[in-house]
Amino acid sequence: MTVRLKLIWNSDLYMDKLLKNAFKMQIQSKEGFEFEEFIDELFLLKYGVDNYTPIRRNKDKGNDGTILPEQMILACYAPRKYSKTDFETKVLGAANKEGDFEKYQKNWKDKFPNWEMYVNHEVSPEQFTLIQGLDGDTSIKGIDQILSIVDELVSSKKRKLAAYLGIENFFIQDYIQEIINDLLNASNEEDKALHFDRKTLVPPQKKIELNFEQEDWDGMNSEMVLVMAEFNTITNILSGYNDDEINTLKRRVINDYNKLSGNFKERLYNLTDQYTTTYGNIKDDEYVKCVKSILLYMFEQCLIGRKTENEL
């Protein structure tokens, strides 16, 4: 048991790292107004439209976003290349140029006593010292703190942010990894070798015709085409587990499937609902899709459902 949990932890950590690095790279790539737009997207997800107000990009009077319940004005700094002098000018201003903090003090401080700056890189000591030395309640947050905010979002909001950044595929991988680990950790089934030979597998269409009513054939064929796009992802994730773990996972799904009554379609949908309710969120469509992808992956491998004569 100890070895299995250790392997799961390492595999899970690897997937978490992949997703985190994907977020980090995309956020760090945002510069100027694009970074401000990302911050707006992040805090609209975190606080909602009633508690966060984005501000127009030009002539903002020192306001890059307003967090109403915290009485806080935001400032953003995301250069292509960091320069200490440029940062100081951004905050404090220079000859004939107002800095963000000066504009904030003049236009916003009376109603919003808190000021916070967000940057798309790690906060340097001189940046921290400069911001902390300003008059009033001021702070600065960099990429590490931004990633922490992202991590605190509920799954559905985190997925929306991943889609916004164009890294939704990494999020799907993370979901599939999470579901597999949940099934393994909750399993008390005895390990028993379950072998299959991919050379003997028949095309999914034949299995669909064997397990579904004719009226469902077209719809199920279309659904299989959609979820089969995730089969390579599932295979790659499972390659990180040892044979005993994979057999435990298969046995868990087979036994849970066999406990249900009804035809294959009813069992498939009921087991999808069961796993989604137990381990995830029934209202999260992407999570439901990932659960069903794993179950149809098992179906495609002839582990659940009626088998053709060649598979018996």
Structure tokens at 247: 């057999």
What residue segments make up the domains of the chain, in order of their start? 31-152, 167-311
What is the average pLDDT across 106-130?
95
| Range 79-106 burial, b when 16+ CB lie within 10 A, else e | eeeeeeeebeebbeeeeeeebbbebbbe
Among 1-15, 149-163, 178-192, name the one with the lowest average pLDDT.
Answer: 1-15
Q: Are 142 and 119 in contact (CB under 8 A)?
A: yes
Most confident by average pLDDT, 134-143, 279-288, 290-299: 134-143
Is 117 a residue whose pLDDT tops 90? Answer: yes
Among 37-46, 195-204, 245-254, name the one with the lowest average pLDDT.
Answer: 195-204
Neighbours of 58 (CB within 10 A): 6
With a pLDDT cut of 70, the percent of the chain lying above it is 86
Is 228 a residue whose pLDDT tops 90? Answer: no
| Range 122-149 burial, b when 16+ CB lie within 10 A, else e | ebeeebeebbeebeeebbbbbbebbeeb
pTM of full prediction above 0.75: no
User: Could you tell me the pLDDT band of residue 215, with boundaries at 50, 70 and 90?
Assistant: confident
Structure tokens at 284: 């999260």
Q: Are 46 and 153 in contact (CB under 8 A)?
A: yes
Task: Note the residue count of the chain.
Answer: 312
With a pLDDT cut of 90, the percent of the chain lying above it is 40
Is 85 a residue whose pLDDT tops 90? Answer: yes
Neighbours of 249 (CB within 10 A): 22
